[in-house]
Amino acid sequence: MSYDVAIIGGGPGGYTAADETAGRGLSVVLFEADMLGGTCLNRGCIPTKALLHEAALGISDPALLRKKRDDTVSALRGGIEKLMKMRKVTVVHGLAQITGPGSVSCNGEAYEAHDIIIATGSIPSIPPLAGADLPGVYTSNDLLEGAGIMPRSLAIIGGGVIGMEFALFFAQTGAAVHVLEALDRILTPFDREIAQRVALHAKKRGIIIEASAQVQRIEGAPGEMRVSYTSKHGQPCTLFCESILIATGRRANTAGLFADGAAPELERGAIVADELGRTSIAHLWVIGDARARTVQLAHVAEAQARNVVACIAGAEPPVNEDLIPSCIYLSPEVASVGLTEDEAEAQGRAVICGKALTGANGKCLIGGSESGYAKLVCDAKTHAILGSQLVCPRASDMIAELALAINLGATAEQLAATIHPHPTISEMVGEAARAVCRAAR
Ligand code: NAD
C-alpha cells in the first residue's frame, strides 16, 4: 500500500497533520496504537479540565466526576473519528514501526509513503527514585483513565503544570495535598510573580508546597505510603499519605519506533529536528512532544503539524511558532504569552509595564474571583506589546487576543483604542493597555 504521507500517532499533532494533508489533496494513512486523540484527549488536557470544572462546582462524587470526564472525552473522540472519515484518511489501529526510508510496518503489513511524519507524543518521565514503581504511586495517566483514584491524602512529586493542576483538583475534592518540588520554586517556566500568586492561592486552599525538597525514596503500600525527603533546610522528613502522584515531566515516546538502522538522530530518545521539523533523514519529519527541545503543548504540536504539512506540499509554513501562549487551569486561571518583564530586562530591553487588577473588574467581582491581574509588557520606545501575563478568570480564553496583538506588532495605544465590552473580564486587557499609555506620557 502506497500513500503520499504516512503519519504515526493520532494525537493533536497527528490528527491535525492528517486533516491538513488530506485537505491539500494528498493521500494519507494514519497509524494509532491506542485511541485517536492521543494524550491530550484521552489522558491529558481534556479529562483534567473536565475534572477541574466539575470539582470547582463542588462535585466530589467519583462516579459523577468519571461520567463527566468520559462523556466529554468520547464526544470529542467521536468528532475526530468522523473528521478522519470525512477527509478519507486511512486510519490503521496498531503499533507502527519505521523500517526504512519511506517504509512503515504495522500489524504485519508493509506501507510505503513519500513522506513520514512522526507524531508519537510523550509519556510520563519517572525519576530514578527508590519505590517509584510501587503500587500506590501514580502518574497522570493512571488518574485520568479508567477508575482513577480519590485519595484522602496525596503527595505530589513535582510542582510543574501537571502537579499544580492536580493539587488544585484533589484539594477541591477535600484531599490533603502536599507538593514536593526539587527546585527553589514551583512553575519555573512561568514568571516568578505568577508562581508566587499561584502558591498563595494554593496555600489558601490548604495545599502545602515545599520547594527545594529532595525526595529520596518511597515506601509502603496503597493507602499507607511514605515519602522520605530532605527539606529546604537539609532536615530529613517523612510524609505519610494514601497515594503519591509523580509529575516530574514527560519524555518522548519513541521506544520501538524504529527498526535497526532506521532511526534518525536522537537526543535522549527525542527526535532531533530543525525549525521546520526535518529530521536527519530526508522525508522523515517530527512534530509534537516527540521532537527534541520542543515546548510540550497540544497547540504547539498542532502548529507544527500545519507547518510541516505545508512544507511537504511545497507551501510556506502558515503559523508563527515563535509565539507560544501557555495556560494553567488553576483558580484563577493563569496564561502567558511573549516576554515577561524579567525576560525583557535580561535581554537588555527597556520596557514599560501596565497592570489591571481583578479587584477593579466588575465581572471578576460578580464571579467572586480570587485576586489576580492582567499585565502587559511593552517596548519603552515604540510601546509595541512584547508580552502579557494574566492571572484571572478566563485567562486561558483571553490570552489569544494578546497573542494576536503581539503577532501583528500592535502597540499599547492600539489595544487601548479597541473597545472591550462591558462588563467582561477582557476589560482588564484594555485597562492594562491604558496603564501603559499613562506610564508612557
Ligand atoms: P514540568 O516539567 O512542567 O514540571 C515538572 C516539575 O517537577 C518541575 O518543576 C521539576 O523541577 C520537578 N521535578 C523534577 N524531578 C523532581 C524530583 N525528583 N522531585 C521533585 N520535583 C521534581 O512537567 P509536568 O508538570 O509533568 O508537565 C509535563 C509537560 O506537559 C510540560 O511540558 C507541561 O507544560 C505540559 N502540560 C501542560 C499543561 C497545560 O498547558 N495546562 C497541562 C499539563 C501538562
- Is residue 325 in contact with ligand 1, taking CB distance under 6 Å? no
Q: How confident is the model at residue 300 (pLDDT cuts 50, 70, 90)?
A: very high
Active site residue 422: yes
Q: How confident is the model at residue 145 (pLDDT cuts 50, 70, 90)?
A: confident
Q: Tell me the percentage of the chain whose pLDDT exceeds 70.
A: 100
Q: Which of 43, 45, 162, 198 to mutate to test the pocket of ligand 1 (most atoms within 8 A of CB)?
A: 162
Query: If DSSP codes are grouped into helix, strand and coil, which group holds residue 345?
Result: helix
Which one, of 259, 248, 247, lies nearest residue 8 by Cα? 259
Model-level pTM?
Answer: 0.96
Q: How far is the CA of 394 from the centre of ligand 1 (A)?
A: 22
Residue 255: predicted pLDDT: 97
- Is residue 214 in contact with ligand 1, taking CB distance under 6 Å? no
- Hey, whose CA ends up nearest to atom 4 of ligand 1? 160
- Cβ atoms within 10 Å, residue 136: 19
Residue 278: predicted pLDDT: 98
- Hey, whose CA ends up nearest to atom 15 of ligand 1? 248
Instruction: Determine the distance from the C-alpha atom of residue 413 to the mean position of all C-alpha atoms in its chain, rounded to a whole number.
Output: 32
What's the maximum distance between 2 C-alpha atoms anywhere in the chain? Answer: 70
Q: How far is the CA of 139 from the centre of ligand 1 (A)?
A: 11
pLDDT at residue 149 tops 90: no
What residues contact residue 71 under an 8 Å CB cut-off, 6+ apart? Answer: none
Q: How confident is the model at residue 148 (pLDDT cuts 50, 70, 90)?
A: confident
pLDDT at residue 388 tops 90: yes
- Is residue 151 in contact with ligand 1, taking CB distance under 6 Å? no
pLDDT at residue 7 tops 90: yes
Q: How far is the CA of 357 from the centre of ligand 1 (A)?
A: 28
Residue 147: predicted pLDDT: 79
- In whole angstroms, give the CA distance from residue 369 to residue 392: 7
Mean pLDDT of the region 345-369: 96
Residue 295: predicted pLDDT: 97
Ligand 1 atom closest to 247 (CA) = 26
- Hey, whose CA ends up nearest to atom 14 of ligand 1? 248
DSSP string, 353-418: EEEEEGGG-HHHHHTTPPS-EEEEEEETTT-BEEEEEEESTTHHHHHHHHHHHHHTT-BHHHHHTS
- In whole angstroms, give the CA distance from residue 354 to residue 438: 9
- Is residue 296 in contact with ligand 1, taking CB distance under 6 Å? yes
What domains are there in the chain, each with its CATH number?
2-124+251-312 (3.50.50.60), 148-248 (3.50.50.60), 332-440 (3.30.390.30)
Q: How confident is the model at residue 296 (pLDDT cuts 50, 70, 90)?
A: very high
Mean pLDDT of the region 173-185: 97
At CB < 8 A and 24+ separation, what contacts does 57-64 make? 60/150, 60/172, 60/173, 60/174, 62/147, 62/148, 62/150
Instruction: Determine the distance from the C-alpha atom of residue 10 to the mean position of all C-alpha atoms in its chain, rounded to a whole number.
Output: 17
What does pLDDT average to over the chain? 97
Dihedral over alpha carbons 410, 416, 421, 422 (to 10 degrees): 150
Q: Tell me the percentage of the chain whose pLDDT exceeds 90.
A: 98
Which one, of 255, 306, 261, lies nearest residue 285 by Cα? 306
- Hey, whose CA ends up nearest to atom 19 of ligand 1? 182
**214-269: per-residue pLDDT in tens?**
999 999 999 999 999 999 999 999 999 999 999 999 999 999 999 999 999 999 99
Q: Which of 245, 248, 327 to mutate to test the pocket of ligand 1 (most atoms within 8 A of CB)?
A: 248
Q: 287, 159 in Cβ contact below 8 A?
A: no
- In whole angstroms, give the CA distance from residue 57 to residue 362: 21
Q: If you ran DSSP here, which 8-state letter would residue 180 be given?
A: E
Residue type, position 59, single letter: I
Ligand 1 atom closest to 163 (CA) = 25
Dihedral over alpha carbons 75, 78, 79, 84 (to 10 degrees): 170
Which one, of 440, 304, 316, lies nearest residue 385 by Cα? 440
Cα–Cα distances in angstroms (integers) from residue 324 to residues 133, 286, 301, 321, 413, in the given order: 34, 18, 11, 7, 23
Mean pLDDT of the region 198-210: 97
- Is residue 127 in contact with ligand 1, taking CB distance under 6 Å? yes
Q: How confident is the model at residue 274 (pLDDT cuts 50, 70, 90)?
A: very high
- In whole angstroms, give the CA distance from residue 121 to residue 11: 7
Residue 98: predicted pLDDT: 98
pLDDT at residue 155 tops 90: yes
The phi and psi torsions of 101 (rounded to 5 degrees) equal -60, 120
Q: How confident is the model at residue 302 (pLDDT cuts 50, 70, 90)?
A: very high
pLDDT at residue 369 tops 90: no
Mean pLDDT of the region 198-206: 96
Q: How far is the CA of 298 from the centre of ligand 1 (A)?
A: 15
- Is residue 215 in contact with ligand 1, taking CB distance under 6 Å? yes
Ligand 1 atom closest to 213 (CA) = 20
E strand spans, 198-338: 208-210, 214-221, 224-230, 236-241, 243-246, 250-252, 266-267, 270-271, 284-286, 326-328, 334-338
**119-134: per-residue pLDDT in tens?**
999 999 999 999 999 9
64, three cell numbers: 459523577
- In whole angstroms, give the CA distance from residue 7 to residue 339: 34
